[in-house]
Structure 1
């Protein structure tokens, strides 16, 4: 089996490394994090891997995963590239950013390495939950053909549903994921804050949130966004939308901006089936 080195021992890195190791797709070799303690904790959690204090001390491996924040990917790739001896064998390197393409690994590609990105579409709240929930997770792939083919084979073996994404459209693809997942959480936060400000008890806030979120999700999955949409904007009740926006404005001007923008999009979605303007 190929050896895997991991730079960045956060939730995503630990989840993928654990599954690849558990399913006997790779052996775990060296683990590095900005804080050595984090690498040591990761090794304990994974049950394998050698914590290393810095990138230059990491040994040669056939596969490298750079599971670090987006802003650090190219810098880490450059740091790794600078440590490579002239006779270092070519390897596969991939990062896990949903926003950046494989181009972020350009320093390693310049060394002849095969580079790619993989974006698992999963809410990685913790490695333990990520491991349990990973089966069936869509995984967006792009990059050099050899690296993408390798990732497709081995991520599929651990339960990933791999699909290709155009490198030029990676940022828009990721924005869609933010709207679908991250902003859902923001909207639930706004709703809960508003209910509490309206005097609803904490217990009932949770009950309201659970009931609406569950029924809305079920309807969205069954009917699609346009047909599942309800509320004053969807009904074309402009007077209610405007009056309610004014109330929200007094409570939270920022939330009011979101309310008005989303109401406008709701009208378009209900009338045309899309939030996009006419061509």
Structure 2
């Protein structure tokens, strides 16, 4: 992989020495036709660890000291993307270049100050966890990466990601908030539900090691069934069976123990009933009443 015009390796700069950026740049450092160039970080110790993990590149503590590059990756917290793009643009770095951030929520236009300089903008969100960068790098092959932004930027960045094993796919313009909301519900909030379930089992007197095994067994079976059958056919339980008396009484028991969890239980049970009967969660079912919506905190 090389620059199409100069036939030289693509030069990549990274701003942000956290888990996402260091994982990607560790992968890029072993990619033919790519040159990992400058790595920026504000914390010298963290930057040193990032450089050691990546295995190539030059550590830089000052944005102004970063050299020109073909692709700049802004792997910083969502709320800092605009700030960092503005600070970089104020330095009038050589360009135009491609700027890409890794947020699942923010659009590429969050880097508008760089776009005003003639840079092309993209976002690339790997749908995986980076809690352990070493494990993330090891298991990155096959990871889906959602992309949006300027067509030329996406066309420039996608092959670099695909060269290290990513499976890129498009996100429609304006769709990032719902896209990321879906990822949060499928992953982060599912983890919260597992925590609530373990707390409930503990309250019911189930030993911790048994509760952990129950979680694992149910999660594994659920994942297999959803993959094989789809959500509607995989769904079981009292709401799916239409046993609303059990749902109501069970919801009351949860409310007496954990009122906040009861709101989630009742709302999700309502959506479960819709899913089983209609194949989706947005369409009310015939027996649903206004009282259902009020009771379920809607």
TM-score (norm 1): 0.96
1:2 maps to 2:45:
no
Structure 2 counterpart of 1:208 = 214
Note if contact 2:12-2:34 (Cα within 8 Å) is conserved in structure 1.
yes
Q: Secondary structure at the match of 1:141?
A: strand
2:278 maps to: 272
User: How many residues are aligned here?
Assistant: 277
Instruction: Give the 3-state SS of the residue equivalent to 1:118 in structure 2.
Output: strand
Partner of 2:175: 169
Of 32, 36, 51, the match for 1:24: 32
TM-score calculated relative to the size of structure 2 = 0.90
Report the RMSD for the aligned CA atoms in angstroms: 1.3
Could you say which structure has the higher helix fraction?
1
Contact 2:13 2:73 in 1 (8 A): yes
Note if contact 2:101-2:108 (Cα within 8 Å) is conserved in structure 1: yes
2-side partners of 1:258 and 1:25: how far apart? 49
Deviation at 1:24, TM superposition (A): 2.3
* Aligned residues of 2:39 and 2:58 also touching (Cα < 8 A): yes
Q: 1:25 to 1:271 in 2, by over 3 A?
A: farther
Q: Residue 59 of structure 1: CA displacement?
A: 1.6
CA contact (8 A) 2:102 2:123 kept: yes
Cα distance in 2 between the residues matched to 1:277 and 1:36:
53
Q: Deviations over 1:81-102 (max 9, x none)?
A: 01125xx221111000000111
Aligned to 2:74: 66
Structure 1: 4+ residue segments shifted above 4 A: none
Q: Which range moved further: 111-120 or 269-278? A: 269-278
Q: 1:100 aligns with which of 91, 106, 116?
A: 106
Pairing 1:181–2:178 present = no
Q: Distance in 2 between matches of 1:152 and 1:46?
A: 20
Name whichever of 261-270 and 152-161 sits farther off: 152-161
Residues 83-131 of structure 1 deviation map (CA, whole Å, 9 limit, x = unaligned): 125xx22111100000011110100000011110001111222111111
Question: What is the Cα deviation at residue 25 of structure 1?
Answer: 4.2
Q: Is 1:115 the equivalent of 2:121?
A: yes
Could you say which residue in structure 1 is the equivalent of 2:250?
244
Bigger shift: residues 260-269 or 7-16: 7-16
1:49 aligns with 2:57: yes
Does the 8 Å CA contact 1:25/1:154 hold for their aligned counterparts? no
**CA offset digits 1:204-240 (Å, max 9, x no partner):** 1111111111111111111111100011110110110
Would you say the 8 A contact 2:29–2:55 is kept in 1?
no
RCO comparison, higher one (Cα < 8 Å, 6+): 1
Distance 2:158 2:56 in 1: 24
Give the Å deviation of 1:167.
Answer: 2.1
